[in-house]
Structure formats: C-alpha cells, structure tokens
Structure 1
Amino acid sequence: MPFTSATFLFVFLPLTIILYYVFNFIGKIKLNNLLLILFSLVFYAVSGLRTLAYLLVFIFIMYLSGKILSTFRDDKTKKGILIIFLTFITLVLCYYKYITFILELFSKDIKEFSIVIPLGLSFIMFEGISYLVDSYKNGVKSGSLVDVMLFFTFFPKIASGPIVLWRDFYPQIYKRKVSVDLFFSGMNRIMIGLAKKSIIADSLGVVVQNINENVTLGIDSPTAFFGALCYFLQIYYDFSGYSDIAIGVSRIFGFEFKENFNSPYTSTSIGEFWRRWHISLGTWFREYIYIPLGGNRKHVYLNLFIVFLITGIWHGSTFNFVIWGISHGILIMLERASRNNKWYKKIPSGIKWIFTMVFVYLTWIIFMLPSLKQAIIYYKSMFGVYVGDIYFTFEYFVDEKVLIIVCAALVGAFVGKWKIVEIIRQWTQNTKWGLIFSQIIYIGLFILAVWFMMNSSYSPFLYFQF
C-alpha cells in the first residue's frame, strides 16, 4: 500500500490514527502496540499473502534467535550462535536479491525461473542483523514476541526504511508519548514528503522514463544532460519524500526516528555527502560492517573500500551498482588520504562543492540505467557520440511545466545551508503569524500534491526496488 495512494492517505492512515488515540486515551500502551502490529500486517499483506507469511516466519525465527542468545552465558558459545544466525540472514538476502544474477552468469536461459522479492526485504534483513547484534553486544533485551513483531512490522518503515536499530527502537516500545506538538509536527512532515514525491519526483520521473526509453535509439546531448539532471533531483526528492512521510507518521504514534537526509546536495566532499545521504544506511554500515572490520584503527582504506563495495552490491545485482559503489569508495579513500594535506585545505569550498556535485551527478547515471551497455551509450550521447539517428530532441521531452519544477527542485535541494532558511524556520516556530503562514503553506502543498497524485499514473518509490 503506497504512501501516495488515496486508500492510504484517506482511509488506512486516518483510521489507524483515530483508533490509536482512542486506545491511548484508555492508557493501555500494550493495546496500542497490538493495534500497530495488526494494521502493519494489513499494510504489508497488500503486497501479497505469501510474502506476509514469509515475514511472519522470519520474525518468529528472529524471536527464537534472540531468546537462544539470551539463554547462553558463555561468550564463545554466544558468538558462535550469533555467527550462525547472521549467516542465515545473509544467505536469505543473497538468495532473493542475487540468485537471478548468479544463474545468468552460468546460464543464458532462465525464463522458467522467477522469484518474488518480498517488500522491504533488504531493510528488514538489515534490521534483523541489528536486532541480533544489539541483543548480543550492546546489552539490549531481546524483547517479547510482541516487541519483536512491532519492530519488524511497523508499517511506516517496513518498505524503504529508514533503517532503525533495535537499540534505538526498543526503549520506545513502552516509553513513548503522544502530544499535540508531535501530532502536528508529524502531519506537517507528511505533507512535505507527499509534496516532494507527488509534485517533484513523479513529474521528473516521467521525463526520466521517456528519455531512458529512447537511449538506445538515440538522444541528443542536451536531452542526455537534462535527463541526468532530472534523475539527480528525482532520486533525492523521491527517497527523502518517502523518509519524510515515514518519520512523520512515526512521530504521530510517538516514535522518534533519526533523520535520513540532511541537505546532501550541499556537501563539499563525497565523505560529507554520505554523512548526509541515506543516513540510516550509513549508520548501519558504520556500526555493523566498518567498525567490526577495524574502523579507523587498522586497514582504514581497505575497510572503506569493502563498505562501499557492499553498498553497491546491496543496491542491486548488476555490474552498474558494483561500479557505482566502487567509484564512490575510491573517491572516499582519495579524500581520506588528502584531507590533511595543505593543498587540499587550500581548495575553496565552492570548488569542492562543484566537484562533488559533478561526481554525484555523473555516477547517478550508472545507478539510473539497468545495464552497463545502456549507461555507456548514455555517456556517449552526453558528449555528442550518438548511436543512431536523433528522432526526438530536447524540445520533445521538455516543456514549461517541467522547467519550472526543475528550477524549484534545484532551489529546494541547495538552500540547506542558507542563513535565510534558518531565519524563516525560527520565525515560523516562534511567532504566531509565522506559524499561521507555515500551516497555510503546508496545507497548500498538500492540496497541490493530492491534485498531482490524482492526475498522474501510479509511480512507486524508487527505493522499493532495493
């Protein structure tokens, strides 16, 4: 059930909120937890009853795993058991995400083989690893079956995150509160996320799709550059919009999750970009991959390379994602090696920002296209090396509406560090007229977003595929 559907916005979410607040008035948080589990299961069941059954089996296995880990006192035994369970999760993830790719390497004809990847598989598996490791290493209780079910099924985060660590989620299961401030803060966040997705991301997604469908037929250079720019903006507004909605919905129910984006397109280095982009994924890799490998203590460059190689592989099973991950890893290593040099420190921040954005912009193209062959054709088209006759030029794909949306999206993506933004934010939070003005803007964006949503075909969130 997508967040940007009328069923979710006007039926499922309002009903869940009303019942939740009625139960909250009664003062039984356990009832609220059961209610959230029930509605979360309904939410997930929309993707298929078979995948729901798989999810329930996985949750029960995780619950038993946590209980088994808490039973043993010997560290060596516990560590061995932990490794067994982590191996199980890894094998399940690899099977669903990479079995088709592996079979293609050894056989060209796999038409009879098909596999349905459960919704949110990667995010669920990563949270499973967090559950086991935190229960083993960080002294967090493994919780009851209800606790574990709520953690894994909680519907705002189940499809595309943000990835929530067990040690951050568990304390909120029975010690969270709702308030008027949290409710309206959550609603505002939902409206912002919906506007990002429906107005900007989906509009640009149509342009990207139309251009990509003509890549192998031949597109001119301006079209290729503009298509890459649209995707550069689409993927940010699509995923950050989803995160805004997920965080907003969670806030309404009293859960506080960490931010997943922090103006990544204002970064002056790739390292900074990854501290601002998909923050929950970066946090997970740092806690459960980078630090266990040795972190900053030993083999720093090798550890960084491994993390970004796995990051690329996690996003997809084609060579595009591997190359994308490796390219970011190499630049991260080069930045790490250069950051204390005088010549690097003397480079103006504006130059660093331009270089970072150009690198991100160009590497998103590998991420955007399904095959390396298409990516190479796209790069050639950008620089005037065309593969065929150009039947459709820039004017065919772009109109005034698209240009206005692109300009608005560029402003929104790059204003994060502007002082005027913080001044306006303080004004809307600390003054009556500022609060009224902001609510008018939010409601206006929501109405416009719903209008866009109703007048366009369904476009799933990009990160559903991961």
Structure 2
Amino acid sequence: MVFSSLYFLFLYLPIVLLVYYITPLKWRNLWLLVVNLIFYGWGEPRYIVLMLFTIVLDYFMGLVVARCKERDNDKGARIAVAVALVLNLAILFFFKYWDLVAKTFQYFGIDMPVLNLTLPIGISFYTFQTMTYPVDVYRGDAQVQKNIVNFGTFVTLFPQLIAGPIIKYKELADQMTYRTHSPEQFASGVQVFTVGLAKKVLLANNIGKLWDVYLALPVDQLTVSGAWLGVLAFSLQLYFDFSGYSDMAVGLGRMLGFEFLRNFNYPYISKSVTEFWRRWHISLGSWFREYLYIPMGGNRVSKPRLFFNLFVVWAATGIWHGASWNFLVWGLYFAVLVILEKAFLGKLLEKLPAAIQHIYTLFLVLVSWAIFAVEDFGHLGAYLAAMFGGASGGLYNENVGYYFTSFLPMLIIGCVAATPLAAKLWAKLPTKVVKVILPVVLLAGLIFSTAYLVDATYNPFLYFRF
C-alpha cells in the first residue's frame, strides 16, 4: 500500500485515525503496531514474519547490551552489538544482494544459484533504523526500551516504514512513550501531507511520463537534446516523488503526534556537490555520517585517510540504493566529486559567481541521475554518449520538439517548485489572506490529486525498489 492510493486515503487512514483517537493513550502504541503490520503486509504478508524477527532480534540485543553495561561487561556488550549488526546486514544482503552477487559470479563462470527473491518493501530503510538501536544503547545515546510493543511500533511505524525518512531510535524514543496531540499539530500534519501528495501525484507522476518515453526509446533514436530532456524529467520526477513521500510521512507523523526531521531542503539550488548532499536525503546522509564516516575517523585524519573514508562511505551509499552495479558506480561518481571538492575544487568554486556554481552543480547532478536511472550498462553507456554528443539521432529532431512543447508547462512548474521561490512568496502574504486562501489551496490539491488517482493508471513509486 502506498500513500498515493485511494485505498490508503479513503479507507486505511480514516480508520487508523478514528480508532487511534478514541483509544486510551496507553493502548495507542499497540493499535499502531497492529495497523503498521497490516499496512506492511498489504502487498506481501509473508514478509511480516521477517519484520517480526527483526523486531525481536534487535529488541533482545538491546536488552543484552544494557544488561552487560550494567555489569561492566564491555566485551559482552560489544559482542551483542556485533551479533545484531551481522545478523541485520546478513538479512539485508540475502534478500537484496544475493542475486546480484550470484549473477556476477555466473558471469565469470562461477556457479552460484540465483534465487529470484522478491525484495521486501522498505527493507533498506527499516534495517538501517533498527540495527543501530543496540549501537545507541551501547554508546549511552539511548535508554534501553523494555516494552517490546513500543519498540515494535518504532520499527514498523507506517508513515516512514517503506521510504523513510530514516529515523534513529534515540530521535523518537521519548515520543514512543509520550507525545502531544493538538488540533494545531493535526492541522499542520494535514497541510504537509496534502502538499506532499500533490508533489507526488500532480508533479512527479506527470513529469515521469516524459522520462519513461526516453528510457524506452531505442538508443539509435536518441538525440543529444532528447537525452538531456529525458534526464531533466527524471531529476524532477525523482525529487518530487521522494520528497513528496517524505512530506507525506512528516504530515502523517504529526497527525499521530510524532515529529520527524526534514528529509529534503531544496537540493537543486545547491552551489556544490557537497552542499547538494547536505540537502538531499538528509536522513541517509546523517546515518552514514554517524554510523560509518565518524567511526572510521571522519575528517580528523590525514588527507589520504580522509579520501579513503569518503570513498568507502560513498560506495556504501551507492550500493544501498539498489541491487545493481550502476548504483555502486553512481556512488563512486559522487565520491570522486566530493573528494575533489575537499581537496581543492571547493575553494575554487567559492571564487566563482553564484550562477556558475549552480550550473556546475546541476550539470554534474543531472549526469549522476542518468547513471542512477539506467541499470543496464550497455544502455547506460549509450545514453551517456548521447548526452555528450554521441547520439545516433543527432542533436535534435521533431520528436524532441513535440515532447518539449507538450511537457513545457509541467517542466516550468517543476523547476519553480523545486526552489524556495513559492515558499518565500507565500511567507510574504498577510496572515489574514493566508487564513482564507490556505484551506482553498489544500482542498484543491486534495481534489485534483484524488481526481488524478481515480482516472490514472500511472502511479509509480520509485523508492519501493530500494
């Protein structure tokens, strides 16, 4: 089940909220745990067992770590943490990467069975969330959770279960036992959710149709301008798809009394690749920084070691996104760029006009999305060649003009909406005007989004595969 579906909007969510608010406070987490599992098992009920195993594993490892710490048994605590990490990563590897490794081995003549397992939805997100709980207990950053219902509710919390934002247990621990509920908070949640829904349904879905055209186009029909138009469409689709989903997650959290951290901060206005990654998928960057980059020494090391640390972190970031080698290439691509900016390029960029810095960043990011989006290496090579002048179809043809003019209104709206311009203009409106206009705008967004979902068959969700 996805948020941008009629079943969720008009059946699941109303029932969840109604029962949640008539349920006594002490039973609300239990209700959430039940409906979280229903939400997760809607499409793949067999993987509920895997989810429950993950909950039980990390819950008990947290208890073991806490008990060992109480007894000054640091070695035992470390072993418990290691067991939790190894088992969680083993599960993630088995379901997500086994077939990738098997096919790679077969390519080199080594026999390894391909299992063709269905990827459990959201496994990359909830594995990262739950496996760091014993780590935080060991570090003293989080108190051990002795109520398995509360811990299970954290792991399975449906607003951010399948696509984040990635939330560390210590960030939500207090809210699992006590959280405030108010009409103002609920209304704010509805507002944020509706904006996210409109971003996903009205922008991402419509712009995504243009990318699908160019992704499916035979490579001998690609033109230079068409290849760039396609990857521009994908960059907007991915942003509004993922940031829209994150907004919906934040909004749903507020409706239930939770506060989640912001996951996107207008990344396409960045003036460097480093800044881009401070603004894009913020929760993932924070996770890798805290649990991989800093433990490896962070930036408090020699330059060669710093560059090695960045290389490892970005390799991990890349392969986290999917079981295909293009994601590793994508991660290493950013590793090279970030290392260059750390080494010398960043200082040079700061001396250039802001417009040049923006162009530099957008150019490199658009190239990165081509690597990210095209998993087949043969097709990827041809697509990148087309972007850089090696298109069989030449520079331009009539089809490019047709698709450009057909999608131009959506592209303009998307480009403007990807900047803080609209938010700044909205902030300048008088309070009285906002009170009148806001309900109208939200109602219109909900109506148009619903109308689209009623009539449309095209409603992909890009981050399901991650």
Common topology (TM > 0.5): yes
Q: Which position in structure 2 is the counterpart of 1:462? A: 462
Aligned to 1:120: 122
C-alpha separation between the residues in 1 aligned to 2:5 and 2:362? Answer: 33
Please list the CA deviations of residues 343-375 of structure 1 after superposition, one character each: whole Å capped at 9, or x if unmatched. Answer: 443212221111001100111001011212111
Residue 283 of structure 2: aligned partner = 280
1:47 has 2:47 as partner? no
The correspondence of residues 287-306 of structure 1 with structure 2, limited to 5 A, is 287-298=290-301, 299-306=305-312
Q: Judging changes above 3 Å, is the alpha-carbon distance between structure 1 residues 408 and 340 closer, same or farther for their aligned structure 2 residues?
A: closer
Q: Confirm whether residue 160 of structure 1 aligns to residue 166 of structure 2.
A: no
SS in 2 for 1:47: coil
Once the two structures are TM-superposed, the CA of residue 148 in structure 1 deviates from its matched residue by 1.2
Q: Does structure 1 residue 432 correspond to structure 2 residue 432?
A: yes
| 1:249 alignment partner in structure 2 | 252
Match of 1:140 in 2: 142
Which of 33, 38, 43 is matched with 1:37 structurally? Answer: 33
**CA distance in structure 2 between the partners assigned to 1:47 and 1:94 by the alignment:** 22
Q: Which runs of 5+ in 1 are unaligned?
A: none
The yes-or-no answer on 1:318 pairing with 2:317 is no
Q: Normalising to structure 1: TM-score of the pair?
A: 0.93
> How does 1:33-182 map onto structure 2 within 5 Å?
33-73=29-69, 74-107=73-106, 113-143=115-145, 144-182=147-185
Deviation at 1:215, TM superposition (A): 3.6
- The AA in structure 1 aligned to 2:455 is N
Asked whether the equivalents of residues 192 and 248 of structure 2 are also in contact (C-alpha less than 8 Å), the reply is: yes
Distance 1:344 1:214, change over 3 A: closer
Q: Which residue of 1 aligns with 2:219?
A: 216
Could you tell me the percent identity over the aligned residues? 34
Query: For residue 13 of structure 2, what is the aligned residue in structure 1?
Result: 13
Asked if the contact 1:43–1:155 (Cα under 8 Å) also holds between the matched residues in 2, the reply is yes
Q: Normalised by the size of structure 2, how large is the TM-score?
A: 0.93
Kindly indicate whether the alpha-carbon contact (under 8 Å) linking 1:312 and 1:321 is maintained by their aligned counterparts in 2: yes
Aligned partner of residue 85 in structure 2, secondary structure: helix
1: CA distance, partners of 2:333 / 2:14 = 44
> Once the 2 structures are TM-superposed, how far is the Cα of residue 391 of structure 1 from its aligned partner?
9.8
User: Aligned with 2:440: secondary structure?
Assistant: helix
TM-superposed deviation, 1:393: 2.5
**Counterpart Cα distance in 2 of 1:463 and 1:138:** 33
8 Å Cα contact 1:200/1:409 also seen in 2: yes
How far 1:228 sits from its partner (Å)?
A: 0.8
Residue deviations 1:183-235 (CA, integer Å, cap 9, x gap): 11110111111111111111122221122111435222222111111001100
Q: Deviations for 1:121-154, whole angstroms, at most 9, x for unmatched residues?
A: 0001101222121121134222111111101111
Q: Separation in 1 of the partners of 2:164 and 2:287? A: 12
* Structure 1, 71-80 or 106-115: larger mean CA deviation: 106-115
CA distance in 1: counterparts of 2:206 and 2:93, whole angstroms: 34
Kindly indicate whether residue 264 of structure 2 is the aligned counterpart of residue 268 of structure 1. no
Find the partner of 2:338 among 318, 321, 332.
332
Q: Secondary structure of the equivalent of 1:173?
A: helix
**1:399 and 1:423 mapped to 2: Cα distance?**
27
Residues in 2 aligned to 1:427 and 1:31: alpha-carbon distance in whole angstroms: 42
Contact 1:220 1:393 in 2 (8 A): no
Structure 1 CA distance for aligned equivalents of residues 339 and 204 of structure 2: 32
Aligned residues: 455
Q: Does 1:345 align with 2:342?
A: no
Deviation string, structure 1 residues 272-309 (Cα, Å, up to 9, x no partner): 11110000101101110111111121132221111111
Residues 426 and 287 (structure 1), Cα distance of their counterparts in 2 relative to 1, 3 Å cut: farther
Displacement of 1:392 in angstroms is 8.0
Deviation at 1:339, TM superposition (A): 6.5
Superposed counterparts of 1:340-419, under 5 Å: 341=347, 343-387=348-392, 393-395=399-401, 397-398=403-404, 400=406, 402-414=407-419, 416=420, 418=421
AA partner of residue 46 (structure 1): W
* Residue aligning to 2:240: 237
Whether the 8 Å CA contact 2:62–2:134 is kept in 1: the answer is yes
Deviation at 1:40, TM superposition (A): 0.7
Instruction: Answer yes or no: is the 8 Å Cα contact 1:268–1:352 preserved in 2.
Output: yes
Considering only aligned residues, what root-mean-square deviation do their CA atoms show, in Å? 2.1
> Cα 1:69–1:115, aligned 2, differ >3 Å: closer, same or farther?
same
Q: In the aligned structure 2, how far is the partner of 1:119 from the partner of 1:252? A: 24
Q: Cα distance, 1:462 vs. partner?
A: 0.7
| Counterpart residue identity of residue 229, structure 1 | L
> Equivalents in 2 of 1:339, 1:399: separation in Å?
37
Relative to structure 2, which stretch is displaced further, 65-74 or 188-197? 65-74
Residue segments in structure 2 that go unaligned for 5+ positions in a row: none
SS in 1 for 2:429: helix
Q: Deviations over 1:225-277 (max 9, x none)?
A: 11111001100000000001011000100100000000101111111111100
Q: Indicate conservation of the 8 Å contact 1:242/1:461, yes or no.
A: no
SS at match of 1:184: helix
Distance 1:95 1:128 in 2: 17
Which segment drifts farther, 106-115 or 164-173? 106-115
Distance 2:256 2:409 in 1: 36
Change (3 A) 1:352 1:54: same
**Counterpart residue type for residue 206 of structure 1:** K
2:273 & 2:89 partners in 1: Cα distance?
Answer: 28
SS in 2 for 1:293: coil
- Within 2, Cα distance between the matches of 1:394 and 1:110? 44
- The alpha carbon displacement at 1:320 in A equals 1.2
Amino acid at match of 1:136: Y
Q: Distance in 2 between matches of 1:123 and 1:392?
A: 43
Contact map agreement 1:215 1:378 (CA 8 A) in 2: no
1:187 aligns with 2:160: no
Confirm or deny: 8 A CA contact 2:98 2:114 kept in the other structure.
no
Residue aligning to 2:199: 196
